[in-house]
Amino acid sequence: MIVKNIEFEGFRNIDSEKIEFSDGINVIYGENAQGKTNILEGIYLFARGKSFRAFKDKELIKFDKSVAYARMSFESKDNETILGVEISKSQPKKFYRNKVKVAKTSEIIGEFRAVLFCPSHLGIIKDSASVRRKFLDVAISQLRPVYIKMMARYNAVMEERNAILKMLPTERQENEALIDIYSEELASLSADIADIRNEYIKKLDYWVSIFFKDMTGGREKPKITYESNVQENDFENRESLKNRYLELLKNNKEREYKYGATLFGIHKDDLKIEINGKDSRFYSSQGQQRSLALAMKMAEGEISRENKGEYPVFLFDDVLSELDDSRKKYVLSNISARQVIITGCDKGVFENTDDCNFIYIKDGKREEDLNFADTSLEENENEPSQEGENE
């Protein structure tokens, strides 16, 4: 999968600009607060349907504009597609496929796939379970768009069930039959979602072990397993998995009434990540945690390739500056045969990397790097001229 170009109008600090990309490594560089990450944000918008850093869509609109546009052309193994988005301060954002408006954002999820790696992901090991669940949900949704609908329905049912659990005892009694209906649907959705997550985590464990072994020379062995309300043997078939969740919900209603919330289900899941049999959240160094985070992102790309027959686009947002030299070297030696778009990197990091497309950004526009050009000119002036040599 290859991004050919992306065009912006009124997006963040970008007034109007079109950026062209090469098939290999693209390095977007420049001073701080010039708009480098804004470009990655626009690209990722088409992979996930929303920004990876804005809380509200209107934050994406340039302060002196009322609407923002982004249009991206990309190639997959099947065809070339143009995706567009219109973001207004007064209306929900609208997505377009080849200039035709799509009915729902979910309809474009999975068409363009990207793996995003930014500094906040380096804390995925030690952060809360919700961060690791988000990692899973984002990765899986690009491969199986129906997963988004399943999660949306699960959250809606749980919200309704929680509302009943918070009622006064007399009101709860009147709604006892309704809460049983919600429990039945929640158990069914939990079984479907847990089964998909469990399958993904097994693949994740396989690839993380390979990448981590490469990074550490095989000295340490990672292990990733599914940590949930159910046991491994409950995954033998879907019906037994559903019945186990239903049993938990029915047998613990008194506890749930006390807390006013649903205490069992896939919203409590976590990834258990170990190194040499010890929980990496508590018994790993910062370097080990960063190696694991990097391995997880590389693994995400491999699972996507296995599932769809081609690599996704890799988006690295200022992450190399957070890695030590050995991990930088590992990243640079393992990103061939795929498109990579990196922001915030020192050009010197890529001095031994072939065929990089350097993109200098200043004030939201692509410009010529005058400092770089002046350096080249000085070097030429210091060399003896051809005429001098002949004389």
In the predicted model, is pLDDT for residue 163 greater than 90? Answer: yes
- Under the banding of pLDDT at 50, 70 and 90, the label for residue 372 is low
- Under the banding of pLDDT at 50, 70 and 90, the label for residue 373 is very low
What is the CATH number assigned to the segment(s) 126-309?
1.20.1050.90
Note the pLDDT tens digit of each residue in 125-156.
999 999 999 999 999 999 999 999 999 999 99
Coil/strand/helix, residue 24: coil
Q: What is the pLDDT of residue 344?
A: 81
> How far apart, in whole angstroms, are the C-alpha atoms of residue 69 and residue 11?
6
In the predicted model, is pLDDT for residue 159 greater than 50? Answer: yes
Q: What is the pLDDT of residue 345?
A: 65
Cβ–Cβ under 8 Å, residues 178 and 164: yes
Contacts of 299 (CB under 8 A, 6+ apart): 203, 204, 206, 207, 208, 210, 211
Share of the chain above pLDDT 90, in %: 75
Asked which of 176-180, 268-272, 376-380 is least confident by mean pLDDT, the reply is 376-380
Q: How far apart, in Å, are the Cα atoms of 284 and each of 22, 288, 352?
A: 38, 6, 32
| Count of CB atoms situated within 10 Å of the CB of 131 | 16
Q: What is the pLDDT of residue 234?
A: 87
Note the pLDDT tens digit of each residue in 71-123.
999 999 879 999 999 999 999 999 999 999 999 998 999 999 999 999 999 98
Q: What is the pLDDT of residue 377?
A: 35
Cβ–Cβ under 8 Å, residues 75 and 1: yes
Note the pLDDT tens digit of each residue in 286-298.
999 999 999 999 9
Cβ–Cβ under 8 Å, residues 41 and 105: no
Give domain 1-113+312-391's CATH superfamily: P-loop containing nucleotide triphosphate hydrolases (3.40.50.300)
- Region 286-314: mean pLDDT is 95
Q: Sketch the domain layout of the chain as residue ranges.
A: 1-113+312-391, 126-309
Note the pLDDT tens digit of each residue in 254-266.
999 999 999 999 9
In the predicted model, is pLDDT for residue 270 greater than 60? Answer: yes
- Region 377-390: mean pLDDT is 39
- Under the banding of pLDDT at 50, 70 and 90, the label for residue 349 is confident
Q: What is the pLDDT of residue 187?
A: 97
